[in-house]
Amino acid sequence: GASQLPNGQPPSPSLGGGMALVVDDDPCASCYATIGAAVAASSPGGEIDVRPGVYPPFSIEGKDHLAIRGVNPDAVFIDAGGGPYGIRLATTVGDTIEKLTVRNAQNAFVLENAGVGGYLPAQEDRRIQLKSVLVDGFTGSAIQTDRLSTLSIQNSTLVGAENHIRLTGSIDPAFAQSWADLSSYPGLPPTDVGGALVGMGNTLLFVRGNGSTDVIAYDLQTHTAETLHAPLGITANSAW
């Protein structure tokens, strides 16, 4: 974290067990008045503890693995006042937002190139982490994220408009999209009430329903179907 507080003193012991900068909206010689000011003074890997109060929106840019922890979501409020975001994270990875409430925002959280690479094996620590967060009263989305960002949400509540998560930006051109109606596949037997369908590689496995004991294996490459007889006593409506 940052080497000293506004009064020149070193950071205080944090809620997470390390040393942290402290934010308090009540005047305090050893505190920052806003979270944004503490973020600006912090270093990657630092910690910021937020005391009870109401705070304006803020951004985190290029501060990898920064942890911001409120004392309780019922006591720490980020009030956007109807603005475009409550908390914005950009070009940063591994940051944690914990135990606070974001309210009255068009988009509570906005992610722009944040947590990039967090979908890769053994790189989950690059994801943005939301823990014990309450989002209340958004009008656009609880989380607006581009298609490169990654995010983990734990023990959190999102309350507001219907669009809880909104994706922005263009789809990766390397991603091959293929959509087709099943009725377009030649030789695919019809299904009935109680049927089920699951994909397994290049094969579709499904049951016809209506009490049938047959499982149909349909090859998507050869467009041929094979009937597999289920064991005695197993039907399409059974849990198997």
Residue count of the chain, please give it. Answer: 240
Side chain identity at 157, as an amino acid letter? T
pLDDT of res. 183: 59
- Work out the pLDDT band at 46, boundaries 50, 70, 90: very high
Q: What is the mean pLDDT of residues 38-66?
A: 97
Side chain identity at 104, as an amino acid letter? N
- Under a CB-based contact definition with an 8 Å cutoff, are residues 6 and 31 in contact? yes
- State the average pLDDT for the chain: 83
- Under a CB-based contact definition with an 8 Å cutoff, are residues 116 and 146 in contact? no
Which residues are within 8 A (CB) of 179 and not within 5 positions of it... i.e. 6 or more apart?
none
Q: Is the pTM of this model over 0.75?
A: no
pLDDT of res. 179: 58
The radius of gyration computed from the CA coordinates of the chain, to the nearest angstrom, equals: 25
A 10 A CB-CB count for 12 gives 15
Cα-based distances in Å from 156 to 19, 109, 221:
25, 13, 43
Cα(13)–Cα(237) distance, rounded to whole angstroms?
A: 58
Please choose, from the candidates 172, 183, 110, the residue with its C-alpha nearest in 3D space to the C-alpha of residue 141.
Answer: 110
Q: What is the mean pLDDT of residues 198-214?
A: 77
**Residue 1 pLDDT more than 60?**
no
pLDDT of res. 18: 54
pLDDT tens readout for residues 71-112: 999 999 999 999 999 999 999 999 999 999 999 999 999 999
